[in-house]
């Protein structure tokens, strides 16, 4: 008899032994209080019928052998539980021993076609192809290249600006005029891609005329040339039949007047303090834009104007205002900006903090209405000229008014 048979027939505390019906040895001696269910018992019993009612009423030998009417009188619940517990005692000991042992975690492996190592990869679990090291390196190189283009184009633009500003006079006027013409051309070109037909020639005439008039006669000349440009545009659409004349005439005037606001920089450039004043405006405006970008990117959580510019955040705006005011206070101590004291510098910082985001928002409204991301691509990594001077278009005229009030012009 094997170990399992020895465990199943081992005596309990009361001296009883239990044997399952299929484990019973017919040649063995009868055991005390053995409960057995023979497979042929049911087949030997006959179902009672109407013809043999006496057969169903008389007890059979099977009932006597099982003991009593149900054959289970001698088997108590305690006996059954004790036998079952002993039967699985070794199994319980094995489980307890397994719980106390430590196992070393191993990597999951599977024979997957196409995977040389056999390890289950990210794409095998998610169904999506993972990014290879070569692709990651290509993305990093593209970002580095884009950053290099941005830095390079910015250096070129700043160099041209500083060179023309230090040269002064007609050189600075020419630099501002080129910026205005390119920005107006980007605006009119974008309009044409969207099905509009502005008369760009009259817009260019008004922009160039505004810059020349500002150099010759100051702000009065700017207003006069803008008025002349408006008259020519209206006269043209009145004399020539064009598709959607009201829309196209209005957009032509908008491009001329909007980019023509930069002509106030020419007026400031004609003053004796041109280098200090223009540098102060440019540095504060550019710093405000940079600070808003980095603060918003690092700490931005609440959108400032979701419909106009989803990337602008309240945190970015507040951070840019605070940092711009701090920079303005610091620049008031620099000898180059000597005519400016602390109070006037803070006023200029506040002015930039108001008009710079308004200028940026104005262009965002126009671009969103036209369904474009950038107005142009002339500046690698930066978009178009209009994308870079949008804040200056509002800040420069406001700064001119402040400088006139302070008596610096």
Same domain? For 63 and 180 the reply is no
For residue 75, is it within any domain? yes
For residue 209, is it within any domain? no
For residue 292, is it within any domain? yes
For residue 106, is it within any domain? no
pLDDT tens, position by position, 325-348: 999 999 999 988 877 889 999 999
Same domain? For 88 and 193 the reply is no
Residue 89, domain extent: 3-100
Same domain? For 166 and 82 the reply is no
Round to whole Å and give the CA distance between 32 and 21.
15
What is the number of domains present in the chain? 2
Round to whole Å and give the CA distance between 304 and 311.
8
For residue 368, is it within any domain? yes
Is residue 61 predicted with pLDDT exceeding 50? no
Same domain? For 254 and 397 the reply is yes
Same domain? For 273 and 339 the reply is yes
Alpha helices in 332-391 (DSSP H): 342-370, 385-389
For residue 123, is it within any domain? no
- From 199, 179, 197, select the one nearest 387 (Cα to Cα): 179
- Report yes or no: 400 and 199 within 8 Å, Cβ to Cβ: no
| pLDDT confidence tier of residue 263, bands split at 50, 70 and 90 | very high
- From 154, 379, 364, 389, select the one nearest 289 (Cα to Cα): 389
Round to whole Å and give the CA distance between 138 and 302.
33
Spatial neighbors of 273 by CB under 8 A, at least 6 apart, are: 339, 408
Looking at 100, 121, 143, the residue that finishes a domain is: 100
Same domain? For 279 and 170 the reply is yes
The secondary element (H helix, E strand) that includes residue 189 is helix 170-193
Q: What is the mean pLDDT of the chain?
A: 77
- Determine the average pLDDT of the residues in 157-186: 93
For residue 151, is it within any domain? no
Round to whole Å and give the CA distance between 159 and 148.
16
pLDDT tens, position by position, 14-50: 445 555 555 555 444 444 444 444 444 444 444 444 4
Same domain? For 36 and 169 the reply is no
Rounded to two decimals, the pTM is 0.65
- Report yes or no: 277 and 271 within 8 Å, Cβ to Cβ: yes
Same domain? For 162 and 289 the reply is yes
Same domain? For 171 and 286 the reply is yes
| pLDDT confidence tier of residue 311, bands split at 50, 70 and 90 | confident
Same domain? For 191 and 303 the reply is yes
Same domain? For 339 and 265 the reply is yes
For residue 225, is it within any domain? no
| Coil, strand or helix at 173 | helix
The secondary element (H helix, E strand) that includes residue 77 is helix 77-87
């Amino acid at each position: 008899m094997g170990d399992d048979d020895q465990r199943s027939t081992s005596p309990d505390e009361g001296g009883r032994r239990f044997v399952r019906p299929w484990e019973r040895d017919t040649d063995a001696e009868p055991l005390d209080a053995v409960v057995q269910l023979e497979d042929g018992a049911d087949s030997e019993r006959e179902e009672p019928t109407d013809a043999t009612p006496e057969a169903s009423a008389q007890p059979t030998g099977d009932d006597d052998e099982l003991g009593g009417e149900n054959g289970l009188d001698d088997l108590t619940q305690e006996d059954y539980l004790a036998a079952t517990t002993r039967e699985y005692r070794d199994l319980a000991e094995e489980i307890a021993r397994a719980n106390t042992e430590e196992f070393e975690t191993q990597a999951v492996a599977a024979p997957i076609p196409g995977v040389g190592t056999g390890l289950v990869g990210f794409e095998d679990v998610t169904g999506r192809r993972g990014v290879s090291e070569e692709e990651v390196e290509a993305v990093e190189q593209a970002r580095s290249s884009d950053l290099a283009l941005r830095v390079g184009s910015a250096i070129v633009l700043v160099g041209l600006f500083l060179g023309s500003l230090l040269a002064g006079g007609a050189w600075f006027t020419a630099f501002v005029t080129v910026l205005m013409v390119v920005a107006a051309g980007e605006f009119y070109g974008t309009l044409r891609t969207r099905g509009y037909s502005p008369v760009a020639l009259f817009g260019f005439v008004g922009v160039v005329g505004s810059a020349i008039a500002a150099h010759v006669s100051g702000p009065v000349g700017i207003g006069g040339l803008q008025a002349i440009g408006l008259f020519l545009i209206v006269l043209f659409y009145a004399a020539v039949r064009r598709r959607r004349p009201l829309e196209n005439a209005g957009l032509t005037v908008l491009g001329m007047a909007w980019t023509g606001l930069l002509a106030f920089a020419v007026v400031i450039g004609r003053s004796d303090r041109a280098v200090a004043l223009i540098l102060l405006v440019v540095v504060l405006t550019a710093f405000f834009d940079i600070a808003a970008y980095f603060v918003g990117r690092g700490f931005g959580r609440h959108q400032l104007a979701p419909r106009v510019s989803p990337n602008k955040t309240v945190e970015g705006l507040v951070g840019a205002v605070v940092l711009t005011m701090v920079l303005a206070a610091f620049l008031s101590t620099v000898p180059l900006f000597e005519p400016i004291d602390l109070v006037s510098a803070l006023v200029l910082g506040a002015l930039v903090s108001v008009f710079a985001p308004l200028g940026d928002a104005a262009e965002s409204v126009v671009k969103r209405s036209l369904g474009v991301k950038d107005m142009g691509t002339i500046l690698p990594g930066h978009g178009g000229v209009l994308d870079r001077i949008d804040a200056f278009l509002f800040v420069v005229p406001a700064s001119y008014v402040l400088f006139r009030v302070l008596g610096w012009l």
